[in-house]
């Protein structure tokens, strides 16, 4: 088995690392503290210029066709420096992939170049509702046919990039009489469409520079041509794209966990107690060994899921395993790294407290760890029933 990266994958990884080191790392703490949206969005525009908003999109539409493995590598490198930038990049790529996967030729030609180029600053993925988070099939937002249009009413919560996304993919119930999850359709809704209202940005624990908003639909009228895929077949789209999104969030978690451990490892070689550097204490050495082993295992799980997706193989179970393991182990890595630094880890002068806040959400969004276990168990049982 050849686990080496291709020349193109190495190039994209290196490009992401260099951008993260030069553009993101120097401002990440300030973005966390001050939420400078102009600076944040300027960095997103630079990433779009480099091709990072269409990593798995056809060159016909302005993408770079680098594949899922390159996408995972890039998100990990960006997250080492700034989780807020990484999550926005991940979700925007996911929105582009939805449109590429099920959109018609006109939809692809209209929207994908604008996402890939950065003309749309980001893409919004409007699935979650107050009553339909871990259970998206229970959504209440509706889209009612009215002549040649659909009229959308309802609301979505926890929408990444809501304040500045240029286009949204929105799920709504189009057949309320159908069984649960069977009467849902997907629509493309452009920012500024009358009847779509963006709520305030949430005041979050971490990933503060990435705005997260409630989005309201009040008699929001879109043409029938805005539907993605077939009517009442939209839930399968959501399920498929969430699996891909889990590779992105697992990769993000890995990046934050590695950043935390790298910082703590360096600190251990400099800080002294009892007349010697912390790196000489076996208890801390074992923590270091355990956490880096966990993160390397997470990387391999992510690579397997990304490879499966790239090759057109079934990847849902692999993606859930990777996301579950990577997010849980990255959380542990951040907290262990903070512990290894003692009181210094708790002080904002050092980045550990930011890493700990940023990583916490990775075991919640794109499907909680508990939901990943449900998915994994379901897939395992399918094989023997």
The predicted structure's pLDDT at residue 219: 98
The predicted structure's pLDDT at residue 215: 98
Which CATH number is associated with domain 7-121? 1.10.540.10
The predicted structure's pLDDT at residue 240: 87
The predicted structure's pLDDT at residue 119: 98
Q: Options 3.90.1150.10, 1.20.140.10, 3.40.50.620, 3.30.110.70; which CATH number does 238-382 get?
A: 1.20.140.10
| Per-residue pLDDT tens over the stretch 330-375 | 999 999 999 999 999 999 999 999 999 999 999 999 999 999 999 9
pTM of full prediction above 0.85: yes
Secondary structure, 3-state, the chain: CCCCCCHHHHHHHHHHHHHHHHHHCCCHHHHHHHCCHHHHHHHHHHHHHCCCCCCCCCHHHCCCCCCHHHHHHHHHHHHHHCHHHHHHHHHHHHHHHHHHHHCCHHHHHHHHHHHHHCCCCCEEEECCECCECCCHHHCCCEEEEECCEEEEEEEEEEEECCCCCCEEEEEEECCCCCCCCCCEEEEEEECCCCCEEEEEECCCCCCCCCCEEEEEEEEEEEEHHHEECCCCEHHHHHHHHHHHHHHHHHHHHHHHHHHHHHHHHHHHCCCEECCEEHHHCHHHHHHHHHHHHHHHHHHHHHHHHHHHHHCCCCCHHHHHHHHHHHHHHHHHHHHHHHHHCHHHHHCCCCCHHHHHHHHHHHHCCCCCHHHHHHHHHHHHHHCCC
Topology of 124-232 in CATH? Butyryl-CoA Dehydrogenase, subunit A; domain 2 (2.40.110)
**Among residues 214, 241, 353, 366, which one is catalytic?**
366
Structural domain spans, the chain: 7-121, 124-232, 238-382
Is residue 231 flagged as an active site residue? no
pLDDT-flagged residues of the chain (< 70): 1
The predicted structure's pLDDT at residue 1: 66
| Per-residue pLDDT tens over the stretch 67-96 | 999 999 999 999 999 999 999 999 999 999
């Amino acid at each position: 088995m050849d686990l080496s990266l291709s020349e193109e994958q190495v190039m994209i990884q290196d490009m992401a690392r260099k951008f993260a080191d030069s553009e993101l790392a120097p401002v990440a703490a300030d973005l966390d503290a001050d939420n400078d949206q102009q600076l944040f969005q300027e960095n997103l525009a630079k990433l779009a210029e480099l091709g990072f908003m269409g990593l798995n999109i056809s060159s016909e539409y302005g993408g770079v066709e680098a594949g899922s493995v390159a996408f995972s590598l890039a998100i990990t490198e960006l997250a080492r420096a700034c989780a807020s930038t990484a999550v926005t990049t991940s979700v925007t790529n996911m929105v582009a992939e939805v449109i590429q996967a099920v959109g018609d030729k006109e939809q692809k030609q209209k929207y994908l170049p604008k996402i890939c180029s950065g003309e749309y600053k980001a893409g919004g993925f409007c699935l979650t509702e107050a009553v339909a988070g871990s259970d998206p099939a229970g959504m209440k937002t509706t889209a009612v046919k009215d002549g040649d249009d659909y009229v959308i009413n309802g609301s979505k919560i926890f929408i990444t990039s809501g304040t500045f996304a240029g286009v949204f993919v929105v799920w709504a119930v189009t057949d309320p009489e159908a069984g649960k999850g069977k009467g849902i359709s997907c629509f493309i809704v452009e920012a500024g469409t009358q009847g779509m209202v963006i709520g305030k940005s949430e005041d979050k624990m971490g990933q503060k520079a990435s705005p997260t908003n409630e989005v309201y639909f009040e008699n929001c009228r879109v043409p029938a041509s805005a539907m993605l895929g077939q009517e009442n077949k939209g839930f399968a789209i959501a399920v498929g794209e969430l699996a891909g999104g889990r590779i992105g969030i697992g990769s993000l978690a890995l990046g934050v966990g590695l950043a935390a451990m790298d910082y703590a490892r360096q600190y251990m070689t400099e800080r002294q107690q009892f007349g010697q550097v912390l790196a000489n204490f076996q208890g801390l050495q074992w923590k270091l060994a355990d956490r880096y082993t966990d993160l390397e295992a997470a990387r391999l799980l992510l690579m397997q899921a990304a490879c499966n997706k790239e090759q057109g193989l079934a990847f849902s179970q692999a993606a859930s395993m990777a996301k579950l393991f990577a997010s849980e182990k990255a959380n542990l890595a951040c907290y262990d790294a903070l512990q290894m630094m003692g009181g210094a880890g708790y002080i904002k002068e050092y980045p550990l407290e930011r890493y700990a806040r940023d990583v916490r959400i990775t075991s919640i969004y794109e499907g909680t760890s508990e939901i990943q276990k449900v998915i994994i168990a379901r897939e395992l049982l399918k094989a023997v029933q």
